[in-house]
Amino acid sequence: MLGLSKKELSIFKKLSTPIKIQDFLDALPINWEKNGETYMSPREVLLNKKAHCLEGALLAGVALWLNGEKPLLLDLKAEGDIDHVIAIYKRNGYWGAISKTNHPTLRFRDPVYKNIRELALSYFHEYFNDTNGKKCLRSYSTKPFNIKKLGTKWITSKENLHYIAQMIDDAPHELIFPKKNNKFIRKADNMERKAGKLIEWKKEDHRT
């Protein structure tokens, strides 16, 4: 199924709920991309036992797919910082999110959001640059990106999936607020910036 081996399928089948998927991603060390930029397939993530946000979102999407749910990704686009990609899911009409991150705030979201905009906005306040405190989330995918439309070969690819990252980046996005409101956005304060510097995985935690 989906080109995965029996061993790989057994791993994915155990990830039968968003919470189980999130717990699995939390246990994976962060991918520091020590040898250059990567966009690993879910198979390569399992082999290398590490992931960054897009790699984690793709793995989460496959887990949702194999367990009968729509594999949807949402792109959060930032200004002056790295974009963030999450896998999203729905429970009783409310949206939640699965997220691979090394930081304390841009994480899992419970299914309590009425629509995609509410979900995206839940990341706004804490999405700031650790150096200057500037809140940098500016837009989000207008429509969730269904990875089913990509076929299945990418799931087990040994090659970097740059083209998927580009497709997600090029998809239509909606601004969170008009540019003229930039002057009203308060920077994160010193306490928030101090908390924002916490990380889950240090570089020495994963040697390769």
Q: Residue 137 in contact with residue 76, Cβ under 8 Å?
A: yes
- Both tokens assigned to 174: 């909606």
For residue 37, pLDDT over 50 is answered with yes
The count of C-alpha atoms lying within 13 angstroms of the C-alpha of 92, restricted to the half-sphere facing its C-beta, is: 3
- What is the residue type of 74? L
pTM here?
0.96
Average pLDDT for 61-80: 97
pLDDT of residue 130: 86
For residue 178, pLDDT over 90 is answered with yes
Domain borders along the chain are 6-202
The whole-angstrom separation of Cα 110 and Cα 98 is: 9
Where residue 208 falls among pLDDT bands split at 50, 70, 90?
Answer: very low
The whole-angstrom separation of Cα 39 and Cα 23 is: 21
CATH 3.90.550 fits 6-202, yes or no: no
pLDDT of residue 206: 54
- Give tens-digit pLDDT for 86-129: 999 999 999 999 999 999 999 999 999 999 999 999 999 999 99
pLDDT of residue 1: 87
Q: Please count the helices (runs of H) and the strands (runs of E) in the chain.
A: 7, 7
Where residue 203 falls among pLDDT bands split at 50, 70, 90?
Answer: confident
